[in-house]
Structure 1
Amino acid sequence: MDLLQYTFFQHALIGSLLASIACGLVGTYIVTRRLVFISGGLTHSSFGGIGMGLYAGISPILAAAIFSVLSAFGVEWLSKRKDMREDSAIAVFWTLGMALGIMFTFLSPGFAPDLSAYLFGNILTITMGDIALLGGLAALLILFFVLYIHPIIYIAFDREFARSQGIPVQLFEYILMMFIALTIVACLRMVGIVLVISLLTIPQMTANLFSHRFQRIIWLSIGIGYLSCLGGLMISFYLNVPSGASIIFFSIIIYAICKIGKSFWLTLRQKKEVKLLQS
């Protein structure tokens, strides 16, 4: 409890909650639509925006947000063309972002910046500006999902059915891709480019072990995501290791425990059913 006296730890707790809300909403759509590979491409393409921001002397997070949103629109547009496969479109922006990020970082004037904070993250260094960004994004996502939860579910599970219901599928897909890109950028300071995709998928995979309902997965993934952040912070504090890696490691531990526990419970249930049939 002594940790709560420190401002940086208070910021970490608030940031973890807001990030869990944003990732719980967006991540459920990502996992349901099977967009994990696309999200990985957008995650790494954001590095191009960071490099450009450092070179131009503007906020790297702002530059990364703009670059990621444009990359998301580019992937969505290219993947709809008949002469371009979706995985090829993702590879184009994935490699382009990483290449531009490395080039502009080394071309930046002055001392070479420390990129480890963007690559691996450190939740203990987030500022009130980062919290405000996460808070604004979480509020927008909550409002959007509350207003359009049914169209989002239709698009996530069956786009053709959504079109038959008169839903502007393409518009929703572009908006959701924009939210995916913004969520990735907002979480960069927490877990970094290398690990942010895990925060968007592992809590949802864990929640999916217990429910197949879209709304329930959202609620469960928010709770599991926040629990992962808290556990990761404790590991980071006691072992003196990077917080971003600790958060992802703890989330994988939770998934493994739930997976093994569910498998064990199903095995016991099957044995009981066999005994009942035999008797």
Structure 2
Amino acid sequence: MDMLINWFAEPLSYPFMQMALFTAIIVAIVCAILSCYLVLKGWSLMGDAISHAVLPGIVVAYISGLPLMFGAFLSGLFCSLAIGYLKENSRIKEDTVMGIVFSGMFAFGLVLFVKVESDQHLTHVLFGNLLGVGFNDFLQIMIISIMIFMIMLLKRRDFLLFCFDPSHARVVGLSPRVLHYGLLILLALTIVAAMQVVGVILVVAMLISPGITAFMLTKKFDTMIAIAMLSSVLSSFLGTLISFHLNADIGPCIILLQAVIFVLALLYSKFKIQQIQPLKKLKSAV
């Protein structure tokens, strides 16, 4: 028992681990909420697109001496607007447009990344730098996360209706265009916050895994959000502690735990279906 307590207590005795843990949990909550909407809307590739498209903005911001988060947000916003414009003004399907835009911007970012002489901090943009989060970074992430959380809380029903039926949203007086770009802006902001935890390469997993895990376990949206938040926070908490004991990067540990939780949820849902089907056959026979 003492060994188990020490396993949890030892990492938390260091201030930098405490900061990393608080940051990971805050980002996990926001990602979990947004992931439920992305799963229902079928925007998994959109998250991947914007997460990769922020790289050129980060490099340009570094060259210009601007905050990296500012450049990342502008780059992600440009990607969102470009995808929306090309989709509405061409016959190309949305998934094809996303593939073209995000791969082009990510390639451009990699070219800039290689050509620009940078310190180690810029390299961590690709894979996350949670242990290097300072108070100013934590404050920025906190402000962004609270803003996203409040908007999602106030407009949760509007976004939910838009995800299920944009035509119905228009009938009741909502603007699908405003909700569409509003959700994209929130997605870009969430990616800006989450890239500090897992980097731009793995951030899409943090935006999709909690939502798809909860989707496997329930059909009620409120319950779905609760399960997504629980799985996301749990994986972030345990992933941070495991990374300390294994001397591994925190981001990959968090994503691996989210993958394990998803597999467990999938197996549970399959087992539950197998248990229910015989009962349905028995009732139909009666």
TM-score in terms of structure 1 length: 0.91
**What's 1:48 paired with?**
56
**What's 2:157 paired with?**
150
Q: Which one-letter code corresponds to 1:186 in the other structure?
A: A
**What's 1:22 paired with?**
30
Deviations 1:34-66 (A, max 9, x none): 011111111111111122122223222221111
User: What is the deviation of 1:74?
Assistant: 1.7
Once residues 88 and 55 of structure 1 are traced to their aligned partners in structure 2, the CA distance between those partners, rounded to angstroms, is 31
User: What is the deviation of 1:105?
Assistant: 2.4
What aligned pairs does 1:106-255 form with structure 2 within 5 A after superposition? 106-108=114-116, 110-111=117-118, 113=120, 115-255=122-262
Q: Which one-letter code corresponds to 1:137 in the other structure?
A: I
Once residues 212 and 277 of structure 1 are traced to their aligned partners in structure 2, the CA distance between those partners, rounded to angstroms, is 23
Conserved 8 A contact 1:38-1:90: yes
Conserved 8 A contact 1:54-1:104: no
Once residues 170 and 283 of structure 2 are traced to their aligned partners in structure 1, the CA distance between those partners, rounded to angstroms, is 47
Judged with a 3 Å threshold, the aligned counterparts in structure 2 of structure 1 residues 113 and 97 are, in CA distance, closer, same or farther, namely farther
Runs (5+) with no aligned partner, structure 2: 1-8
Aligned length: 278
Runs (5+) with no aligned partner, structure 1: none
Once residues 194 and 164 of structure 1 are traced to their aligned partners in structure 2, the CA distance between those partners, rounded to angstroms, is 39
Deviations 1:196-237 (A, max 9, x none): 000011111111122222232222211110101112112212
**What's 1:80 paired with?**
88
Determine which of 49, 61, 71 is the counterpart of 2:69: 61
**What's 2:21 paired with?**
13
**What's 1:265 paired with?**
272
Once residues 78 and 132 of structure 2 are traced to their aligned partners in structure 1, the CA distance between those partners, rounded to angstroms, is 27
Conserved 8 A contact 2:210-2:231: yes
Q: CA RMSD for the aligned pairs?
A: 2.1
Conserved 8 A contact 1:51-1:102: no
Q: Which one-letter code corresponds to 1:240 in the other structure?
A: N
User: What is the deviation of 1:115?
Assistant: 4.7
2:104 aligned counterpart, secondary structure: helix
User: What is the deviation of 1:184?
Assistant: 0.8
2:108 aligned counterpart, secondary structure: helix
Judged with a 3 Å threshold, the aligned counterparts in structure 2 of structure 1 residues 273 and 106 are, in CA distance, closer, same or farther, namely closer
User: What is the deviation of 1:255?
Assistant: 1.0
Once residues 222 and 141 of structure 2 are traced to their aligned partners in structure 1, the CA distance between those partners, rounded to angstroms, is 21
1:97 aligned counterpart, secondary structure: helix
1:200 aligned counterpart, secondary structure: helix
Judged with a 3 Å threshold, the aligned counterparts in structure 2 of structure 1 residues 114 and 138 are, in CA distance, closer, same or farther, namely closer
Farther-moved stretch of structure 1 (195-204 vs 82-91): 82-91
User: What is the deviation of 1:162?
Assistant: 0.8
Conserved 8 A contact 1:130-1:186: no
Determine which of 54, 64, 78 is the counterpart of 1:70: 78
Judged with a 3 Å threshold, the aligned counterparts in structure 2 of structure 1 residues 234 and 78 are, in CA distance, closer, same or farther, namely same
User: What is the deviation of 1:248?
Assistant: 0.4
Conserved 8 A contact 1:106-1:112: no
2:173 aligned counterpart, secondary structure: coil
Conserved 8 A contact 2:11-2:244: no
